[in-house]
Amino acid sequence: MNIIFNGQGTDVLDRFRKQAAAKLSRIERLEQKAIRVHVEVSTERNPRQSGRRERVELTIFSRGPAIRAEASAEDRYAALDMAFSKLESRLRRSGDRRKCRHAAHATRLDARNALSLIGGYDLVLDGSDNFETRYLVSDACFLAGKPLITAALGMFDGSLTTIRAHERNAEGEFNPTYRCLFPEPPPAGTVPACAEAGVLGALAGVLGSMMALEAIREIVGFGEGLVGRLLMVDARAMRFETLRYRRDPLNPLNGDALVITDLSGHR
């Protein structure tokens, strides 16, 4: 660990340096690698009382953007404790973010790449704003054997459901598909896309949070999910309703007569 000190009162800095080093060694264990820390110690005027306060600023430069925490107290050791607690909390939050991996796919989803892209994931969330993509994703998830959480928005309404059409329910029947709920897309031009009609950002946030909650449910497993249930949100009346739907034996995916066995019907 490399600690750089800058401060006043060199006669007491040695003892302060040892205490700071002991605390920052915990940070190094948290980071699991050597760190470089800048410690700034200064004295500032106390605006509320006569006298001065000790200010401690800790900055870590070990990776990426610098992470900084500072605190003031009448005693520099108390200020160190406060600054250290803030720094440790920020590092933990940063560490949690580093555990999440983000992979961007700079390509348009189509029939040629849908199965390869979707096949690399355990759970798919779809919030697309056109019917062509919704049907492509739902068909691809069925063929790839992946669960799908899909949500849609209107100007003042939204809906959400979970599709596990590749699995069977407790009665041994296949779960319903997206096409059991919406057999065919509406005629072109009859339902405007979000970009044309506009949506409420707050409503999109509500549906997005619900999708995230349903994703956690699918991963962890608790309560009753939305398989076979369509959750509908009416923002005008602030009303939530749930519609149950079942497998349609005539649906072309897992119906009695299989019609769709690949994505050749999509563009």
The question of whether 194 is a catalytic residue gets the answer yes
| DSSP 8-class letter at 145 | T
Which pLDDT value is given to residue 173?
93
Residue 157 has pLDDT above 60, yes or no: yes
**Domain boundaries, given as residue ranges, for the chain:** 2-98, 114-244
Q: What angle do CA 222, 178, 227 make, to 5 degrees?
A: 15
**Distance from C-alpha of 98 to C-alpha of 91, rounded to nearest angstrom:** 10
CATH fold of 114-244? Rossmann fold (3.40.50)
Could you tell me the CA-to-CA distances from 101 to 95, 118, 168, 215, 227 in Å, in that order? Answer: 12, 16, 31, 16, 27
Q: Cβ distance 146 to 124 under 8 Å? A: yes
Residue 72 C-alpha from the chain's centroid: 35
Instruction: Evaluate if residue 118 carries a pLDDT over 50.
Output: yes
Q: Which member of 100, 141, 180, 194 is catalytic?
A: 194
Output b/e per residue, 136-149; b: 16+ Cβ within 10 A.
bbbbbbbbbebbbb
What would the pLDDT profile of 200-240 be if each residue is shown by its tens digit?
A: 899 999 999 999 999 999 999 999 999 999 999 999 999 99
Conformational region of residue 172, where left means phi above 0, alpha means psi within -120 to 50, and beta covers everything else: left
Claim: this prediction has a pTM higher than 0.85: no
Number of neighbouring beta carbons within 10 Å of residue 67: 20
The tokens for 195 are 């970009």
Third-level CATH fold of 2-98: Double Stranded RNA Binding Domain (3.30.160)
| Structure-block tokens of residue 167 | 């699995």
* Residue 258 clears pLDDT 90, i.e. is over it: no
Q: Is 45 left (phi over 0), alpha (psi -120 to 50) or beta?
A: beta
Owner of token pair 């440790």:
88
Q: Are 163 and 141 in contact (CB under 8 A)?
A: yes
